[in-house]
Amino acid sequence: MICYTQVYKGKDEILLSKLILDPSHSILTQSYDSRLRLDLRRPHNGDGFGVGYYTSPALGPEPCIFTSTIPAWNCINLERLASKTTSSLIFAHVRATTEGNLSDSNCHPFTYGSLMFMHNGGIGAFKTIKRRLAASIGDEWFVNVQGSTDSEWAFALFLDSMERMGHSPSLEPGEEGYGHTVLRKALLKTIQRINALIAEIPDKLRPEDTRSLLNFAVTDGHSVICSRYVSSKTDEAASLFFSSGTSWSPSPASLASDSNSTSSARGGGRSPTRPIHPNAPDYRMERRDKGADIVLVASEPLTFERDNWVTVPTNSTLTIHRQTVMIHPIVDEFYSCDPSHVRASGFAQTKGQTAVVKDGVGTVEEALVV
């Protein structure tokens, strides 16, 4: 699946519009104007979108989900909702389908109780392993699958893995959720089980390419776990970045430029070549001290500042717990402990994913300003 994902976790609530609509290179803009994706088959992420966010605890622990099969850039209701809704934990996802048809049930994020899950990438040989994957999970998780995407089946596998670990998603979590350690171990187990199912494919049924791109994101409303993963020792995973700081706001230079502009800030028709916000400001992440009040995770950077973004290493997990970011390697048969180990970006590019070349964020910046 060719998608872009975005996560916001902050000490304070933020208007959804300040994250997904207003920045000049927001995820909405990326849905039709990605600077890193090299996919001529599907140049736009126009097969639906989804936004998930947590509300006041008085309303319950479950997140609120808004999905639509309308392209994000063409949905007036998204603009109406985002300009009047605040949250301190937000998931956003735009989709270009490769598995599953165009329907609301196939739009991310997926939820169960207080858990929320989304995926960028694809499970290798999914059609070949789908029946065995379905047979390997409990009835409760099997019947919970409403759509037809490999991503939702991965979520079902995650829920089943949690239950096998002794942390049933059907039970109410504690005041701090299930805990970041539980979520991370369940996500690692999900990846391990997917790899095992693929490894067990008989030779006569094995397709030529069985590699998976598994950039997952999961949260219980308290902690967030993301993975950047490819089931290959020689290939690069789909891109993933994070940024942290104390303030997320328009840059002064961008605001000054907007004030001198004579064109309308919200104009006309909506199309992939005419964005909702033609004069949208460039945002930036500021850090006034060593702490972090805000953490952003994105498939493609949301700002043009070189020092705003850090590349998440291939085959690793990113944990956000109380605004602290932790990176852990995923040590399995596809892990390399050699820091000079070089991976090729061709596989991710053939799947329509963003590619990070060897210079990392520096070359990302060059792509963004083209």
**Residues with a known catalytic role:** 3
Rounded CA separation 63/93 (Å): 15
Rounded CA separation 33/300 (Å): 11
Cis peptide bond N-terminal to 109, omega within 30: yes
Please, are residues 216 and 237 in contact by the beta-carbon 8 Å criterion? no
Rounded CA separation 50/223 (Å): 20
Tell me, what amino acid is at 337? C
Element (H, E) at 126: helix 126-135
Chain-centroid distance, C-alpha 308: 18
Query: Which of 29, 10, 9 is closest to 20 using CA atoms?
Result: 29
Crossing angle (nearest 10°) for helices 126-135 and 180-199: 120
Element (H, E) at 133: helix 126-135
Q: In this structure, is the dihedral angle defined by the CA atoms of residues 40, 41, 47 and 50, taken in order, positive or negative? A: negative
Please, are residues 201 and 96 in contact by the beta-carbon 8 Å criterion? no
